[in-house]
Amino acid sequence: MNYTPLTDAYKIHHVNTSTYGGPLQYKQECIYCKHGTSTALMATDGGSFRQCMKCKKQFRATILNNPVANYSYSTQHLKGTN
C-alpha cells in the first residue's frame, strides 16, 4: 500500500505554477464587505484562502498576476465541444 508522507499530505496546489509568471499575489480586499485588509488562513498556500479583518468572513481571494502570454493558446485544445 502506498501511503502519502505526512509532510506532503496537507500541501495545497491551487494553481499550476506554469500558468502564472512569478510568485502568486492575491487580492486582499474582502469579497463581502470590500474592506481592504485580510489575513491568510494558511501561509503554505500563499494566501489564497483569507479572512476579513472587519467582518471575519472567510473567502477565496482572486489572483492578481496575469497569466503567461501563451496560456489561452496552449489550452485551446482542452475546451469541450458542447
Which tens digit of pLDDT belongs to each residue from 12-40? 666 666 677 777 888 999 999 999 999 99
Sheet holding 38-40, edge to edge: 38-40, 49-52, 58-60
The stretch 49-70 carries a mean pLDDT of: 87
Q: What is the pLDDT of residue 43?
A: 74
Are 53 and 31 in contact by the 8 Å Cβ rule? The answer is no
Using DSSP's 3-state secondary structure scheme, residue 39 falls into strand
Band (pLDDT 50/70/90 cuts) for residue 77 is low
Residue with more model confidence, 8 or 34? 34
Q: What is the pLDDT of residue 28?
A: 92
Q: What is the pLDDT of residue 5?
A: 77
Are 50 and 56 in contact by the 8 Å Cβ rule? The answer is no
Contacts 24+ apart (CB under 8 A), 39-46: 42/12, 44/10, 44/11, 44/12, 45/12, 45/14
